């Protein structure tokens, strides 16, 4: 317990939840980034117009990766194949689908060195953007505690303890994001 009054810990707990969500969202963003290796999560954001409604492809088909360079989409309704093909071609995935009447196949080309470096740059940019957002959350949380101190609800010592705890929460989340970024960079540069 950091404070005499447990109600004062609510801001740190809220910040911890926000940091956990940021790390989780960053992990999802990295998973949907094409790294040259087939991954079903690559299609997580692909929306297909299905009977007049935009539907995520992973909710209307089984997605498998039989080998490192191929994604196979098996729709539960074979009539949706044409819609899935259109959605893939219209997306920014840069993939050309092929179909055989029952499944849609996506062959992932080998990434060039230049494309790999571009992807690493974009991963670093995403990482920095996430870190800036997390630092803004830290600033807001510290401001809340400074307001509590100003109102006389916490002491100067409790404010210092809160600031140290807030920094620990931020450092922990930042370390997780840095580790995920490094792993993704290694995956992208792997030939």
pLDDT in tens, 74-103: 999 888 899 999 998 888 777 788 888 889
Does position 172 have pLDDT exceeding 60, yes or no?
yes
Which CATH fold topology does 40-107 show? Gyrase A; domain 2 (3.30.1360)
The H or E element that residue 20 is part of is: helix 10-31
Identify the residue whose tokens are 């940021």.
22
Give the torsion sign (CA, 57, 105, 34, 88): negative
Does position 140 have pLDDT exceeding 90, yes or no?
yes
- The tokens for 167 are 């920094």
User: According to the model, what pLDDT value does residue 178 have?
Assistant: 95
CA distance 57 to 50: 9
User: According to the model, what pLDDT value does residue 18 have?
Assistant: 93
Q: What are the residue ranges spanned by the domains of the chain? A: 6-31+112-189, 40-107
The residues that bridge with 67 in the sheet, in sequence order, are 70
- The burial of 30, by beta-carbon neighbours within 10 Å (0-12 exposed, 13-18 middle, 19 or more buried), is given as buried
Does position 35 have pLDDT exceeding 70, yes or no?
no
Closest to 134 in 3D by CA, of 42, 4, 46, 16: 16
CA distance 96 to 65: 16
Q: Across the chain, what does the average pLDDT equal?
A: 87
Percentage with pLDDT > 90 across the chain: 40
Cβ atoms of residues 65 and 40 within 8 Å: yes
Helix axes 113-150, 10-31, angle to 10 degrees: 170
User: Which region among 8-12, 44-48, 158-162 has the lowest average model confidence (pLDDT)?
Assistant: 8-12
Domain 6-31+112-189 grouped into CATH 1.10.132.20: yes
CA distance 141 to 162: 9
CA distance 145 to 160: 10
Written as one string, the DSSP assignment of 41-58 is GGGTT-EEEETTEEEEGG
User: According to the model, what pLDDT value does residue 3 have?
Assistant: 56
Does position 56 have pLDDT exceeding 60, yes or no?
yes
């Amino acid at each position: 317990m950091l404070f005499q009054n447990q109600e004062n810990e609510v801001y740190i707990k809220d910040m911890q939840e926000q940091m956990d969500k940021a790390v989780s969202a960053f992990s999802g963003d990295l998973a949907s980034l094409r790294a040259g290796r087939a991954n079903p999560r690559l299609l997580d954001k692909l929306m297909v117009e299905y009977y007049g409604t935009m539907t995520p492809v992973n909710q209307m088909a089984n997605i498998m990766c039989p080998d490192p360079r191929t994604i196979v989409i098996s729709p539960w309704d074979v009539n949706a194949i044409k819609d899935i093909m259109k959605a893939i071609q219209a997306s920014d995935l840069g993939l050309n689908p092929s179909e055989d009447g029952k499944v849609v196949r996506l062959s992932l080309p080998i990434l060039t060195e230049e494309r790999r470096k571009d992807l690493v740059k974009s991963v670093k940019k995403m990482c920095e953007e996430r870190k800036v957002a997390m630092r803004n959350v830290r600033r807001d949380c510290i401001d809340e505690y400074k307001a509590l101190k100003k109102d006389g609800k916490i002491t100067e010592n409790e404010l210092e303890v809160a600031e140290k705890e807030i920094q620990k929460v931020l450092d922990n989340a930042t370390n997780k994001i840095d580790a995920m970024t490094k792993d993704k960079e290694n995956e992208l540069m792997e030939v």
